Amino acid sequence: MVTHAPTGRSALLVQSTDILAAVNDAASNDKFVLVALSDGGLRGLTSKQARACVELGASYICAWGHDCEDLEETFDYAAFLPELGPELPFTLMTTAHRDQTLEEALDFAFRWAKPPDDFPFPLNRLVLVADSNELLNRCTTWITSENS
């Protein structure tokens, strides 16, 4: 776990190709921003799996990289498809950062991914799931530079 000094938000960085498994391992009692980062190695996520991520605490979703728009859409469907459960009691915010650099996407996630008005919990923690060690190292480098 690292802390992003400018915002005071903590981040857990996980290297995995399986978002649900990573979220399951990272889950605690608090709600968090899920940042999914892909160079093309993230396995496809079903709406049912995305809903499970939300139920484990993923309450704001930021996607960057390969197929980020598809991933965002999967979480959008997970929020309202009736066969996945009752309507969420809050607005699930999702963003895709296809045309941004990794660093721009990280800056957004740490500084601007804030809970919507109908979300009664703070989002002080981020879980960054990267599908490669290279992406994870770039995240660590960016956070370190922000903390300097």
Residue 39, pLDDT > 90, answer yes
Average confidence (pLDDT) over 21-29: 90
Judged by phi (left if over 0) then psi (alpha if -120 to 50, else beta), residue 23 lies in alpha
- The full set of domain ranges for the chain reads 2-147
In whole angstroms, how far apart are CA 111 and each of 7, 22, 86, 124, 142?
A: 7, 23, 31, 11, 13
**CATH class, range 2-147:** alpha beta
Q: What is the pLDDT of residue 40?
A: 92
In a 13 Å sphere around the CA of 60, the CA atoms on its Cβ side amount to 24
Q: Is the pLDDT of residue 28 over 90?
A: no
Q: CA–CA separation, 41 vs 68, rounded Å?
A: 12
pLDDT score of 14: 96
- Residue 27 predicted with pLDDT over 90: no
pLDDT for 87: 87
Q: Is the pLDDT of residue 44 over 90?
A: no
Q: What is the mean pLDDT of residues 49-53?
A: 96
At 143, the pLDDT band (50, 70, 90 cuts) reads very high
pLDDT score of 53: 96
**Which residues are CB-contacts of 56 (< 8 A; sequence separation ≥ 6)?**
23, 24, 27
